[in-house]
Amino acid sequence: MFERYLTGKLSIFFKISKMKNIKLIILLSILINYEFSFGQTDIGLNITGNYCGIWGPDKPQNFTPNWGYGGGGYLNFNSSSTLSPIIELNYAHRTFDFTEPIILLDNSSLNVLEKNDFIEIPLMIKFQKSDGVFSSNILLGWQASFLLYNEQILSASSDGHIITATDYYDFKNNFYEYGFLFGAGFQYRNYILQGRYYFAMRNIHGGDISREMRYNTLSVSLGYQLNYKPPKSFRKYSFWRELKYKIQRKF
């Protein structure tokens, strides 16, 4: 009897739980759809090119910045017409290389190429000025980056002989870093052009013995807002008519 009673109670519980889960999924779907279509949160995607630099007292003299790439998505919470917080989730590939002499070795050189992949989470405040379907903005914020993949390609020589490079460059990359960023951009309807500068506050490498050098990157991104809706008075305007309106407003 007790087993039959317990089985009945459990079946009722799982039916109720299943109904609650279904109701929760339906409610979340409605909220997401409403926010996407009518809400105050901008949702978009971006692709990025980043020019990877390094700063710090141990920065190599013959350092060569290289272009990397990335992309991701963002949520822009429009709390007001001029000020809004933004959160992003991006992938970024950063690469750099340098050549330098090895201390205490004559006619020597150490060649380093580093390739690093990160997940970046920027948190920013956007100051925006809108004029019809055109807008300009300034960004200020903070960013955390988490290392996904690291590759070091090393070579070293002295007096024409190949030597072991890891004796002079055997550093482990930090799993995470953080820093500040600022930038500016423009938006025309769905399309966004933006430039940013990021400088890290944590060293690239960790451990007791490491070089004191950190990332600073200049990035340029192209974005697309998925749920953009123009003001009603501009929905049938052509690009040239909108540009004419913008110029007339300026002058």
109 and 3 in a single domain? The answer is: no
The parent domain of residue 238 ranges over 43-250
Structure tokens at 13: 């519980």
153 and 94 in a single domain? The answer is: yes
Contacts of 136 (CB under 8 A, 6+ apart): 128, 129, 184, 185, 186, 187
Per-residue pLDDT of 28-52, as tens digits, reads 555 455 444 445 799 999 999 999 9
Q: How far apart are CA 77 and CA 149, in angstroms?
A: 31
85 and 193 in a single domain? The answer is: yes
Structure tokens at 97: 């290389």
For residue 194, the model assigns a pLDDT of 97
Q: How far apart are CA 15 and CA 10, in angstroms?
A: 8
Alpha carbon distance, N-terminus to C-terminus of the chain: 88
CATH classification of the domain holding 107: 2.40.160.20
CA–CA distance from 28 to each of 20, 71, 226, 245 (Å)?
Answer: 12, 27, 19, 41
* pLDDT < 50 positions in the chain: 2-3, 6, 9-10, 13, 31, 34-38, 251
Q: What percent of the chain has pLDDT over 90?
A: 61
For residue 183, the model assigns a pLDDT of 97
For residue 34, the model assigns a pLDDT of 46
3-state secondary structure of 87: strand
107 and 228 in a single domain? The answer is: yes
168 and 232 in a single domain? The answer is: yes
7 and 130 in a single domain? The answer is: no
Burial class (CB in 10 A: 0-12, 13-18, 19+), 182: middle
1 and 81 in a single domain? The answer is: no
